Amino acid sequence: MSEAVIEAENKYATGLHKKRDLVLVRGSGARVWDSTGKEYVDCNAGHGVALVGHCNRRVVEAIQAQAERLVTCPETFYNDARAGLLSTLAEAVPAGLARFFLCNSGTEAVEAAIKFARLSTGRKEIVATMRGFHGRSMGALSATWEPKYRKPFEPLVPGFHHVPFGLPETIVEAVTEDTAAVILEVVQGEGGVHVAPPGYLEGVEEACRRKGALLIIDEVQTGFGRTGRMFACEHFDVDPDILCMSKAMGGGVPVAAVALGSRVGPLPVGVHGNTFGGNPLVCAAASAAIEFIEENDLPGRAIALGARFKARLESIKSPLIREVRGLGLMVGVELRQKNGPYLDALVKAGVLALPAGGTVIRFLPPLVIEPEDLEFAARALEGVLSNPPE
């Protein structure tokens, strides 16, 4: 079975994704199984999506029940599952965010955020950060920093500027009367797991307020408890005008939202929209996932397990480790070498993780993971580092 699957994907898919040589067929909680029956501790979690665990019962049952009733319903009609999700989101997000645009991926959320910021301010300029990642459509890519993603597609959308992450003074200089918004992550994920230093986000917000620019916080990767708070910006004293969320939101299904504060709008009818956004199937799944996160205090679990896991990784005595960084259960181990061979070796040892930049091994496990599984992952990393791959 495995050979046929690999052959079909290699033959018919684009080749855009660097593949690992295994066929995943089943998941439960923080474990996944390949087609040979081998079990893995999943600290990749579908790039951070499976935060409530694979095949979470609550989410599975919500999807099954909704699939029997109504799967599709555009936003031009009212729908009970959508109203339920909107009400759940309104309770979950930081105070001051009151309305939501529903869409299907992190990139789409960022795209909408950029459009709403330009529309609300009548300004064109967007300030983003070096090492920031916001997606790969032309607008979102314009906010993304990595030159190898950007270069082949230039010219991108005009009006975007990048400043170093973590230095409030560079934002103060960059934000002017022409700035529609600053967009940034609280913890840069793809860029290498870099946590915003104390006072930085507050400084960014102040610079925005002074010049009448909006603050867009991209919580596509950090949202829904990953860092130890429902949203990572809640670790700081900051009030975003626009908050982008996706990944963990749907318990595994593709869904995203943009939360909007009082400075955003008015948004005239028809100025933005989509076909699938807010469809009942994903709304039911997302409501179930968010309720599960809240009722089981997964943010609290991320704090407790994250602190233990980070300390355990820090205890690994290896000259290959430059630094261990993170917030909650979003943890990066920066190596002094390229991460690729180490990620492959981890797969062999039964642990799935993911890269962040060229040298960081990133762990984004489900927050339902058991401490023993985190210890297994730490021991696997220790083994791989003490016996480096060729």
The first and second tokens of residue 79, run together, are: 């729908």
Tokens 């829904």, residue located: 224
Residue nearer to ligand PLP on the CB measure, 110 or 182: 110
Cα→Cα distances 293→13, 45, 307, Å: 34, 16, 19
> Nearest residue to ligand PLP, using CB?
106
CB of 144 to ligand PLP, least distance (A): 8
Residue nearer to ligand PLP on the CB measure, 111 or 373: 111
Residue nearer to ligand PLP on the CB measure, 133 or 236: 133
In whole angstroms, give the CA distance from residue 87 to residue 99: 10
The first and second tokens of residue 209, run together, are: 């307020």
Instruction: Say which residues have a Cβ less than 8 Å from residue 273's Cβ, sequence separation at least 6.
Output: 75
CB of 272 to ligand PLP, least distance (A): 17
Q: Cα torsion at 327, 356, 46, 317 (round to 10°)?
A: -60
Cα→Cα distances 75→38, 79, 103, 251, 273, Å: 43, 8, 11, 22, 9
Residue nearer to ligand PLP on the CB measure, 132 or 299: 132
3-state secondary structure of 178: coil
CB of 315 to ligand PLP, least distance (A): 28
DSSP, residue by residue, 108-170: HHHHHHHHHHHHHHS--EEEEETT----SSHHHHHH---HHHHGGG-S--TTEEEE-TT-HHH
CB of 227 to ligand PLP, least distance (A): 12
Q: Which residues bind ligand PLP (CB under 6 A)?
A: 47, 105-107, 110, 133-135, 185, 189-190, 218, 220-221, 246
Q: Which amino acid is at 45?
A: A
CB of 330 to ligand PLP, least distance (A): 10
Residue nearer to ligand PLP on the CB measure, 33 or 363: 363
Host H or E run for residue 340: helix 340-348
- Is the torsion defined by CA of 165, 220, 330, 353 positive or negative? negative
Residue nearer to ligand PLP on the CB measure, 106 or 139: 106
Residue nearer to ligand PLP on the CB measure, 88 or 221: 221
Tokens 């190898």, residue located: 148
CB of 108 to ligand PLP, least distance (A): 7
In whole angstroms, give the CA distance from residue 212 to residue 208: 6
Residue nearer to ligand PLP on the CB measure, 35 or 105: 105
CB of 49 to ligand PLP, least distance (A): 9
CB of 105 to ligand PLP, least distance (A): 4
The values of phi and psi at residue 343, to 5°, are: -65, -40
Task: Find out whether 244 and 110 touch, Cβ atoms under 8 Å.
Answer: yes
CB of 137 to ligand PLP, least distance (A): 8
Residue nearer to ligand PLP on the CB measure, 218 or 373: 218
